[in-house]
Amino acid sequence: MTIIHPLDSLLEGLFPEAKEGGQKLIEAARRFYAFGPFEPVVQIKNNQLIVELNIARIEQQKGRYDKVLALCGRGEFTQAKKDVEILIREAPQVSEYHRIYGQILSEEGDREGAINALIDALRWNPKNEFALLMMGNIFARNLDDLETALKYYEEVLKVKPDDHLALNNIGANLMQYGRTKEASAYFKKAIAINSSYPNTHYALALTAEMQEDFEAAFNGALTALAKNSKKDRLYSSSFTLAIDSAKAYSKQVNAKAVVEFYSAELTEKYGKSIQIMEDDSIPTAAKIEFAENYNRDRHLVKYKPGYPSVEHLVMHELVHLELAEQARAEEVNQLYTAKQEHKNSFFYSLEKDAIRMQSRGIPEKN
C-alpha cells in the first residue's frame, strides 16, 4: 500500500510538522503509520509525502509476533526465542524483533547476547525507546556501568521528552542501583510533567528517606496518599512511609523547644500565661483547659506522658487555643457542649475508619 500526500495546506492540518517539513515530517508520518513493530518507508519526493506500507508482511507476521509476546508474557522463553529468530530471518529490518530477542536473552542471563541483539535493534531504529531503556537497565543493573547507562537513558528522553512513565522507570532503576540523587532528579522531572501520578511521589519520598531527609520523605508520602484514590498496596506503603519518616524526623527535631517557643509566642500575643503539665488521669491523650472556663489566670494544657511524640499533642492543643483567641478577637467565639448521645453519634460515624486503622496495625489506644 502506498499513501501519497501533496505538501500543501491540507497536509499541514493533518500533520502540523508539515510546516517545518523535512525530517520532522517524515518522523511524524512514520510514527503515525507504524503498525505495532512494523514501520513504513517514508520519504519526501517531488513535493509529496510518500508512505509505503508492506501490508502483505504485516498480515503474514502480525499474528506470529503477537504469539511471541504472549509466550514471553507467560515466561515461555524457549519457544518465544525460536519463533522470534524465524521472524528476524524473514524480516531483519524490523527493529522490535531484535529488541524482543534481546529481552529474551537477558531473561536467560545472556547479557552479552542481549546487548548485541539490542544494538541490532538500534541499528535499524535508533529511536526504539524500549531498546534504549533495556540497554540502560543492563548497564546499570548488571554491568555496574552507570555512566553508559545514563547515556542510553538520556536518549530515551530525547525520543519521548514528555513521557513521565519513562522518567519514573529510569528513576526506579537508578534507585535500585543505589544512585538516589540521580534517581531523585528523574522523579522530579516526571512530577513536573505529571504531578498526579502517586507512584512517582512515593518513589521520590523513598529517595528522600534513603538520604535521611525525613521531612521531605514525610511530605512526599502524604502527597502520594493524597494522589492515590485506590487504597491499594501503594497506598499502604505510602502510609507506612509517612509514619516511619515522621518518627525519624521527630528524633531530629528539638520538639520541646518548638513547644516552648510557640507557647511563649501565644502568651505574649494574647496576654495569658500557659502552663503545660503531665496528667495520667485525663480521658484523652491531651486536652486544654481555657482560663476563662475555669476562672483561672492561665491556660492549662495537660497530656498523658506515655504517648509517643507528646509534643505534637501539646502543639495540637495550643493551636486550638490560638483559634479560640482569633475567634474571640472577632467576637465570634462560641462554647459548645455535647451530651452522651452526641458523643455516641460521633463515634459511630467513625466506626469504619477505626476498623480500617486497626486492620493496618494501628493500636486502639492511639
Kindly list the domain boundaries of the chain, sorted by start residue: 2-53, 62-161, 162-251, 255-349
Q: Within the chain, how many helices (H) and strands (E) appear?
A: 17, 6
Q: State the amino acid at position 246 in one-letter form.
A: A
- pTM of the shown model: 0.61
Per-residue pLDDT band for 223 (boundaries 50, 70, 90) equals very high
pLDDT at 265 over 90: yes
Query: By mean pLDDT, which of 151-155, 234-238, 324-328, 331-335 is the weakest?
Result: 331-335
Give the CATH number of domain 255-349. 3.30.2010
pLDDT at 157 over 70: yes
**How distant, in Å, are the alpha carbons of 31, 59, 60 from that of 63?**
21, 8, 7
pLDDT of residue 19: 74
Average pLDDT over residues 222-239: 94
pLDDT digits (tens, 9 = 90+) for 184-198: 999 999 999 999 999
d(CA 356, CA 102): 45
Give 114's Cβ-side CA count (13 Å radius). Answer: 21
Task: Say yes or no: do domains 62-161 and 255-349 share a fold.
Answer: no
We find that the CATH architecture of domain 162-251 is: Alpha Horseshoe (1.25)
We find that the CATH architecture of domain 62-161 is: Alpha Horseshoe (1.25)
pLDDT digits (tens, 9 = 90+) for 331-344: 888 877 778 888 88
How many other C-beta atoms are found inside a 10 Å radius of the C-beta of residue 111? 15
pLDDT digits (tens, 9 = 90+) for 267-283: 999 999 999 999 999 98
pLDDT digits (tens, 9 = 90+) for 55-86: 566 667 888 889 999 999 999 999 999 999 99
